[in-house]
Amino acid sequence: MGRYVIRRTGAAIATLIAASIVIFAFIHLIPGDPVYVMLGDGATPDQVAALRDKMGLDEPLVAQYLIWAGNALQGDLGQSIFFETPVTQVILAGAETSILLALITMVWIIAFGVPVGILAAIRQGTMIDQGLSGLAMLLASVPTFWVGLYLILIFAAGLGWLPSSGYPSIFEQGGLANLSYLILPSLALAAPNAALILRLTRASMLDVAREDYVRTARAKGIRPSRVVLRHILRNALLAVVSAFGFTFAALISEAVVTETVFALPGVGRTVVQSIMRRDYPVIQGVILVIVCMFLVINLIVDLSYRLLDPRVELE
């Protein structure tokens, strides 16, 4: 187990270094002089020289990367050109919304996708199964923003049960009740992903149910419910758990759209705005943070996989 953790962590760090080089290079891939692109045509030579100096663009490339990476390791991702504050601050401002949104969405996905997938598998071929599988197909095919708009239309505009947009911090007036602002966005974001997890859980359960060892378990005379829980489910979840890593990646890209639809002050919206403002340091910083989170999540998935499947170490 120890060696496995070290190997996996090492692989994650190597990936991070590779990714950081790509992210760093990004600023030099901008056509023309990045400084002019950032500052626009009306920049005075003084401003240009100041920014060029601040970004260290006159240093050799390797030195630039090392300085940038060294600063990043110490939590300094540079200065936002638009806000003129540290990039870390810009990201942190959106972090609360984005992290809570992702967590609540994951809760929906796991709480809905996995058990309903199990139910559909147990009732394979019945009306229940066909209904649930049809619903899953529908949710997986419909774009997030469309689900979001319909949720707003029904639950916010129509019934008036939930707020339609914005999100005041839970540390401000209203406290935890402010989480109600995240219910509709998280549902919209969860819908297609929960549908995928549902279909995956169902398919995986049905696959495992055909395995020889499930027949062995039945032959022992143990109750059907125990066959499902102890012998089928645990093996079926192996495939589902490894899908969570990809689900997370999907969440990140879909969150950008969702935060825009629901006007949430999250990191996703910050990225969209920064792209329009050509605020490259912020874009770089956010991408770096996302890469780190993605690697950490996948590391957790890999390690939990090891706990679920004793065969992993050999492979």
The site for another protein (CB under 8 A) is made up of 211-213, 215-224, 230-231, 234-235, 238, 308-311, 314
Task: Kindly tell me the sign of the dihedral angle through the C-alpha atoms of 49, 52, 53, 58.
Answer: negative
Q: Which is nearer to another protein, 276 or 314 (CB)?
A: 314
Q: Which is nearer to another protein, 31 or 310 (CB)?
A: 310
Contact 30, 37 (CB under 8 A): yes
SS3 state of residue 117: helix
Q: Which is nearer to another protein, 143 or 224 (CB)?
A: 224
H or E element that contains 103? helix 87-108
Smaller CB distance to another protein: residue 28 or 234? Answer: 234
Tell the smallest beta-carbon distance from residue 214 to another protein (Å). 8
Least spacing, CB of residue 257 vs another protein, in Å: 38
Contact, 76 vs 86, CB < 8 A? yes
For residue 241, give both structure tokens. 């758990």
Interhelix angle for 2-29 vs 280-308, to 10°? 160
* Distance of alpha carbon 226 from alpha carbon 145, whole angstroms: 41
Give the residue among 288, 312, 241 at the shortest CA–CA distance from 5.
Answer: 312
Q: Kindly tell me which of 3 and 220 has the beta carbon lying closer to another protein.
A: 220
Q: Measured from the CB atom, is 62 or 219 closer to another protein?
A: 219
Q: How far is the CB of 314 from another protein (least distance, A)?
A: 7
Between 157 and 229, name the residue whose CB sits nearer to another protein.
Answer: 229
Residue 304, number of CB atoms within 10 A of its CB: 15
Distance CA 194, CA 130 (A): 17
**Minimum distance from CB of 215 to another protein (Å)?**
6
Q: Alpha-carbon distance 161 to 143, whole Å?
A: 23
Question: CB of residue 211 vs another protein: minimum separation in angstroms?
Answer: 7
Q: Which residue has the tokens 């019934």?
A: 159
Residue (146 or 213) nearer to another protein, CB: 213
Residues 6+ apart with CB under 8 A from 167: 97, 178, 181, 182, 262, 264, 265, 266
CA dist 228 and 235 (Å) reads 10
Output the smallest distance, CB 309 to another protein, in A: 6
Cα separation, 224 vs 232, whole angstroms: 10
Residue 158: CB minimum distance to another protein, A: 45
- Least Cβ distance, residue 217 to another protein (angstroms): 7
